[in-house]
Amino acid sequence: MNLPKSEEQLMLVLWKLKKAFMKDIVEAYPEPKPANTTIATLLKRLQDKKAVGFTKYGSVREYHPLIAKDDYFSSQMSGAIKNFFNDSVAQFASFFTSKDNLTDEQLEELRKIVDEQIKARKK
């Protein structure tokens, strides 16, 4: 699932809140806050995409995400690696580590993470 920036921003708010009424969503938005009608439109679009659900309490709806943040992020990263790095994680890692001016400490931290993953898979 690939969401436009405006819908992704709303999902970030919902992932943070876990579940929320419209007023909670509006309050949690960073400045400048969009109009309530804009948020309502985005919520409707996300419902149509099966990304957001709701529980109805009388005439009020409590919204909640139907897709996990980790799942969405993982699919976005996989798409970026496929589209920009010829589906090569090694090319992505090479680009990331050479272009972002990482410090030696940050590179060591990345090495530690990779080493831990290798050890965990060997068990």
CA atoms of 70 and 74, how far apart (whole Å): 6
What pTM value is reported for the model? 0.76
Whether residue 52 contacts residue 66, with contact meaning beta carbons closer than 8 Å, is answered with: yes
List alpha helices for 1-123, DSSP H.
5-17, 22-28, 36-48, 69-84, 89-99, 104-122
CA atoms of 34 and 41, how far apart (whole Å): 11
Q: Which position has the higher pLDDT, 15 or 76?
A: 15
pLDDT at 25 over 90: yes
- What is the predicted pLDDT for the residue at 27? 94
